[in-house]
Amino acid sequence: MHSCQQLLENLSAGAFDSRLAQLYALDGRPESTDRARERACHVVQSFLDQFQPAGEVPAALFSGPGRTELGGNHTDHQHGRVLCGSVDLDMLACAAPNQSDVIRIQSEGYPALEISLHDLSVREEEKNTSAALVRGVAAKIQELGYTLSGFDAYAVSTVLSGSGLSSSAAYEVLIGNILNHFCCNGALDAIEIAKIGQYAENVYFGKPSGLMDQMGSSVGGAVAIDFADPAAPVVDKIEYDFSGSGYALCIVDTCSSHGDLTDDYADITREMGAVAAHFGKTVLRDVSVTDFRAAIPALRQACGDRAVLRAMHFYDDDRTAALEAAALKNGDFDFFLSLVNQSGLSSSLHLQNTWSVHDPKQQAIPLTLAEAQRLLDTGAVRVHGGGFAGTIQAWVPNEDLEDFKAGMEALLGAGTCHVLHIRPEGGCVVIS
């Protein structure tokens, strides 16, 4: 264990460079390690300035990474299969026990928050706030039988807002790892921390999310998840060296807003649910594809054509996500890319989540997909995340990366094309 001052001195001297490179220099460039060291030093120094801890208080660095959806677009809420992965953009925090019953967190650029451990009940006025997530994570860990104590933390984030990289899950995983380290002796594993994060988001934050976001952030690397039983999802971490694939992962910000899209997202779940209800089921995973296809004429009358098409997407993309996982296991990246393209085509044609019928003039996603396809001779492109606005995902040959980035930013503006890496480690204690 290090005091804050010792942690800062050792970081500054490069003592932890190899550890930082594992998480933040996946491109192999020394300058990436330099940036990671500077960022870590900034976080520790900011912690010292903000909280002025006693000299011997043990401090540590913690990380909650963003995640990217690799396969399975809108399949998780129907108890289907997905493929996701953690990325090298994260929330990084310096934290230390404060010998009190209060959690104090200063996230850079935001108001500080304080959570008393004496009252961890749901608060309606905290819905949709970071405080709700902290309170929810703490409440669930306490419910599991662990004795909580307060801590101070200073956090910074590189997870892009509105990018589909799931900043809320990254935050939940970050807080879960801090409490796990200080209060649970590391007893909680990555899957448990993910479930705790989902509980906080569902019950305290008020968002009925699935578990993909938290699992992708917490477990790390590429992760295949089968949600046939959402209470006990089957999680399969896939060992694949993306850095050796010859392709770069790009997330492209289309500069379109997610505002006022709640109805569009809700319609997907509602329409898929209507098809399932035709068979007396709640979700499509419980309806065989054979029964579905035989009933399409009746379903058109009962649910409408769009609902039928969206159900088609579920069955296709559920299967595709499983095939993508198998392709990575087999080291067949070319087949993986072809499946990514299939998934993207299904999202566009069947799921229909690339633009909103409520604002047909705004079609930034289809336009960006079209331009990305024009720029690429090989590789893959697809809508990323919930859709209708936000980002696309592209796998770009390394030799074409600069031209692709330039083309995207000529269309959308400087800084809109982000080159990411699949991080092999999820939520973690970076240095203790």
Residues 137-159 have pLDDT tens digits of: 999 999 999 999 999 999 999 98
pLDDT at position 233, please? 87
Distance from the Cα of residue 412 to its chain's centroid: 23
Neighbours of 26 (CB within 10 A): 18
The residue among 96, 223, 187, 2 whose CA lies nearest residue 19 is: 2
Query: In this model, does residue 62 exceed pLDDT 80?
Result: yes
Query: In this model, does residue 265 exceed pLDDT 90?
Result: no
DSSP per-residue string spanning 61-90: EEEEEEEEEEE-TT-GGGT-EEEEEEEEEE
Query: In this model, does residue 195 exceed pLDDT 70?
Result: yes
Neighbours of 315 (CB within 10 A): 21
Residues 348-382 have pLDDT tens digits of: 999 999 999 988 999 999 999 999 999 999 999 99
φ, ψ (nearest 5 deg) of residue 102: -130, 135
Residues 401-417 have pLDDT tens digits of: 999 999 999 999 999 99
Q: Which residues are paired to 253 by β-bridges?
A: 391
pLDDT at position 259, please? 64
In the chain, the domains with their CATH numbers are: 2-239+425-431 (3.30.230.10), 247-420 (3.30.70.890)
The residue among 44, 42, 22, 43 whose CA lies nearest residue 32 is: 22
State the DSSP code for 376.
-
pLDDT band at 345 (very low <50, low <70, confident <90, very high): very high
pLDDT at position 164, please? 66
pLDDT at position 162, please? 62
φ, ψ (nearest 5 deg) of residue 126: -95, 0
pLDDT at position 393, please? 96
Give the separation between CA 404 and CA 327, rounded to whole angstroms.
25
Query: In this model, does residue 55 exceed pLDDT 80?
Result: no
Query: In this model, does residue 56 exceed pLDDT 90?
Result: no
Q: Are 150 and 100 in contact (CB under 8 A)?
A: yes
Query: In this model, does residue 178 exceed pLDDT 90?
Result: yes
The residue among 31, 66, 278, 20 whose CA lies nearest residue 159 is: 66
Q: How much is the mean pLDDT over the chain?
A: 94
pLDDT at position 163, please? 60
Query: In this model, does residue 334 exceed pLDDT 70?
Result: yes
Query: In this model, does residue 291 exceed pLDDT 70?
Result: yes
Residues 11-39 have pLDDT tens digits of: 999 999 999 999 999 988 999 999 999 99
What's the pTM value of the predicted model, to 2 decimals? 0.90
Query: In this model, does residue 209 exceed pLDDT 80?
Result: no
Least confident of 52-56, 216-220, 320-324, 367-371: 52-56
Neighbours of 149 (CB within 10 A): 16
Query: In this model, does residue 186 exceed pLDDT 80?
Result: yes
Query: In this model, does residue 340 exceed pLDDT 90?
Result: yes
pLDDT at position 258, please? 61
Q: Are 388 and 356 in contact (CB under 8 A)?
A: yes
Query: In this model, does residue 52 exceed pLDDT 80?
Result: yes
